[in-house]
Structure 1
Amino acid sequence: MTTLPENPQPRRTESATATADAPESRQAESRPNPPRGRAHQRGSASQSRLVWRAFRKHRLAMIGAAVTLLLYLVAAFAEFLAPFSVARFDQAHPYAPPQRLHVVDTSQGGWEFGLYVNGYVAGRDPDTLERVYRVDTSKKVRVRLFDRGEEYRLWGLVPSRIHLVGPVDDREPMYLLGSDRSGRDLLSRLVYGTRVSMTIGLIGVTMAFVLGVVLGGISGYFGGRTDTLIQRAVEFFMSVPTLPLWLGLAAAVPSGWGPLRRYFAITVILATFAWTDLARVTRGRFVSLRVEDFISSARLDGNRPARMIFRHMLPLFTSHLIASLTLSIPGMILAETALSFLGLGLQAPVVSWGVLLQAAQDVQVVATAPWLMLPGVAVVLAVLSLNFVGDGLRDAADPYRQ
């Protein structure tokens, strides 16, 4: 006789399980999909946004970017920011020391608001016959913002006479950063020099960038004899001593050329030997990418070599190219400054940081007028800022950086 269990449990078959789970599946299907709004956007970000997020965390890079942007704004609005033109001089005030800009006048026992600088009293040292200046607190040269001074054309197009700061009486001396041996305002010349020195780096690097990317891409993509020929040319340019060759080519520029032609000649000379490193890097990247499966698929799909290079291969290391471009600009600025300082680069009447530093070649002049070294401070500031920006971009674009 067979005994049955006291509490029999019914066996759950697969059909019963499917029947029991059916309402839940129907409920799951009937639920609306979650909205693909901001939450979905947070989960995925473009490469440029990821690079920007990493770049913002680099404090020195952010400071360098701010300083670099400020320098290029100064270069863009040089006529407006400079109190005077580069040609204005005053033989009565050679090597005049910098004047302190005052905001509040308390000499009369009260508080009088208004911009002014104190005047000079020039004289001769009885022992050394050196020209010396003494601050005359009784004489005040009134200064105002948005002064109507010398006429100029902003960007060569817009006529204007408004300067950011200037003396109320143009005949009064105002040298916020001192003057040179001809009594020319160093602040105005430094502002105009920023335009030349910062733009010569951009133009030269752009030319070198195009040469390096195009030749390096062709060398790495096609290979064979083309690769061999381009790489031998790269090795030849890299084996030539850069500084002596720069000096020789700059000295070969005809002295009768005008400032504009000489400017572009120096730019071409600097760019001629600045493309080799980028060409080698680009060639190495193309050699490693041309064997990838997606490149083979694109080639079998009928894409032309130009589309393969610029559409499928270059975008993969665009961030690296931008970082290399940023790090190359300081080298161009230093090269132009060195050539102009030695008298083989840009020459007067063109004003650049290197041309301004020619006045600092005499140690005695520097000892009596140390403010003539301020263009060197501008060079150091620009180079450091651009290097910080380049380092930040390189770290932000590195996919293997933790």
Structure 2
Amino acid sequence: MKEATLFLMGSDKLGRDVFSKVVHGARISLSIGLIGVFLSLVFGTILGGISGYYGGRTDTLIQRLIEVLMSFPSIPLWMALATSLPPQWSPLVVYFMITLILSLIGWTGIGRVVRGIVMRLKEEKYTEGALLSGASNFYIIRKHLIPGATSFVIAQATLSIPAMIIAETSLSFLGIGLRPPVVSWGVLLQEAQSITVIANNPWILYPALFVIAVVLFFNFLGDGLRDACRPIYE
């Protein structure tokens, strides 16, 4: 007698367990958010720190670059960049390239936050003392300004993780991001593009519930960290 099989969230059209695929896809969707925000944090901290410390033409150039990047509609820009990837590339290469693309676009918010904090901290007496003692600009930025902005930047980065996850999910859902055999929440939701499929197999939408839960978690975490760091800078 054949043993019964339990599917906690149903099965897809090929009879595969949806719950197992959602758990497996979490590795890709969450790692894209975390790695993408880390790279954005690096880009934003470096460029924002330089912009806020040096000011003048350097600040103007970096701020105009930020304004140009922020002026493009997000989803059409992601679509254009993602579709430029050669279709013959392996899923692993596409994964890293999409993460890099999202990072190159998503550093602008962190860059402006770092710029504002650095402009405030460079007027502090300990920064002026370090400058008068002969410390180099690179040393002052690395030892005094960037560490002073770390707590607030981490809070801002936490709020950026949901945007990265939603971006990957949107691109993969539209079929221009990650593609099978890679499993991510966006790839799983590709099957939910048909009303007929949703009507007959509503459990196909379960990955969307996980996306909503994770986005809310990081938003609440980021709000808490931001409120905890706010008294330091006010």
TM-score (norm 1): 0.56
Equivalent-residue separation in structure 1 for 2:96 and 2:32 (angstroms): 8
1:191 corresponds to which residue? 23
Greater fraction of residues in strand: 1
1:173-198 per-position Cα deviation (integer Å, ceiling 9, x unaligned): 34222110111111111111000000
In 1, distance between residues paired with 2:193 and 2:174? 9
Where do residues 241-260 of structure 1 align in structure 2 (5 Å cutoff)?
Answer: 241-260=73-92
Q: Which has more helix, going by share of residues?
A: 2
Matches of 2:120 and 2:145, distance apart in 1: 10
Greater relative contact order structure (CA < 8 Å, 6+ sep): 2
1:265 aligned residue (91, 94, 97): 97
- The answer to whether the aligner puts 1:308 opposite 2:120 as a matched pair is no
Partner Cα separation in structure 2 for residue 250 and residue 193 of structure 1: 20
In the aligned structure 2, how far is the partner of 1:224 from the partner of 1:383? Answer: 38
- Whole-Å separation in 2 of the counterparts to 1:288 and 1:189: 48
Kindly report which structure 2 residues correspond to 1:2-401, keeping only aligned pairs within 5 A, or say none. Answer: 141=3, 173-399=5-231
RMSD: 1.7
Number of residue equivalences = 234
How far apart in 1 are the matches of 2:103 and 2:233? 32
Question: Is the 1:198–1:333 Cα contact (8 Å) retained in structure 2?
Answer: yes
Compare 236-245 and 283-292 and name the one that shifted more: 283-292
Percent of pairs identical after alignment? Answer: 52
Work out which of the two has the higher radius of gyration on C-alpha atoms and give 1 or 2.
1
User: What TM-score results when the alignment is normalised by the length of structure 2?
Assistant: 0.95
Q: Aligned equivalents of 1:313 and 1:226: distance in 2?
A: 17
Q: Give runs of ≥4 in structure 1 deviating > 3 Å.
A: none
- Whether the 8 Å contact between 1:395 and 1:401 is mirrored in structure 2 is no
- Quote the offset at 1:400 in angstroms: 7.0
